[in-house]
Amino acid sequence: MSSRPLVGAPGRYELRQPLKRDLFSRVERGVLLADDGSATSVILRDWRDAPLWTRPLSILLAQREACSIGALPPIDGVPALVARGRGWLMRSHVDGLPLHEAPPRDARWYAQARRLLQTVHKAGVTHNDLAKEPNWIVRDDGGPGIVDFQLARVARARRGSSRLLAREDLRHLLKHKRKYARALLTPTELRLLATPSAPARWMRRWIKPVYNTLTRRILGWQDREGQGPRP
């Protein structure tokens, strides 16, 4: 399988592994080869072959991802924006396995994941899609990583809505902790899990069923980034 040339890329791109393909884009892992011979492991999101009727949403999601990771300082465990062009976006690759393939059982990983999330929040970015286990990475060195910022939001000021979104990011991390290392939950974390915000309750009751019906039953789309190629 080969990729189309990327006009404007800062080097020659070579495909290594397709990760997923849906109505909105094709996502794959590859390497970017620079003129000096250096190679950078990258993730390419390419929507040039997406149907015309889904491209506006593809562009919107890519813009959100580029804006959010572009607003972050260099953070170990979070992808950086490498390049973007007409119909594609490239970010650095975070080595490791998605959470569901290597579920951590130790307190250290969850403590590091919480600090990583706090660092992202302090930079004014909320992820807003951390309920999905493939968006959490257990890195090769044992530390945490966060990927796929398509639904992220950048807020220059810590206002009420941003604080609520940050709280929900943390609650999603704690849900994973409850699933894989329940005995490690503290009383404070248990209270946070038991008290979702009003917007979160409203979303879960009214928006999520509609979203699941639209994406999974009508469009036949499931987010599989980090889970390898679709059979």
Cα gap 6→142, rounded to integer Å: 33
Residue 27 lies in a domain: yes
pLDDT in tens, 142-198: 999 999 999 999 986 667 688 889 999 999 999 999 999 999 999 999 999 988 765
Of 27, 13, 17, nearest to 221 by C-alpha is: 27
Same domain, 87 and 101: no
**What's the structural domain count of the chain?**
2
Same domain, 30 and 120: no
Return the residue matching tokens 């996502």: 27
Residues in the chain: 231
The CATH code of the domain that includes 79 is: 3.30.200.20
Q: Are strands 12-21 and 26-33 parallel, antiparallel or unpaired?
A: antiparallel
Same domain, 46 and 135: no
Residue 17 lies in a domain: yes
The CATH code of the domain that includes 207 is: 1.10.510.10
Same domain, 138 and 86: no
Residue 53 lies in a domain: yes
Same domain, 211 and 124: yes
Cα gap 81→48, rounded to integer Å: 19
Same domain, 81 and 102: no
Check if the beta carbon of residue 129 is closer than 8 Å to that of residue 148.
yes
pLDDT at 226 over 90: no
Same domain, 20 and 73: yes
Q: What is the pLDDT of residue 94?
A: 96
Q: What is the pLDDT of residue 158?
A: 67
Same domain, 25 and 106: no
Cα torsion through 123, 126, 127, 133, rounded to 10 = 100
Percent of the chain with pLDDT over 90: 69
Structural domain boundaries enclosing 136: 96-218
Q: Which of 31-40, 82-91, 109-118, 203-212 comes out lowest in average pLDDT?
A: 203-212
Stated as kind and residue range, the H or E segment containing 92 is strand 88-92
Q: In 10 A of CB 56, how many CB atoms?
A: 10
pLDDT at 96 over 80: yes
The pLDDT-based confidence of 44 (bands split at 50, 70, 90) is very high
Same domain, 170 and 78: no
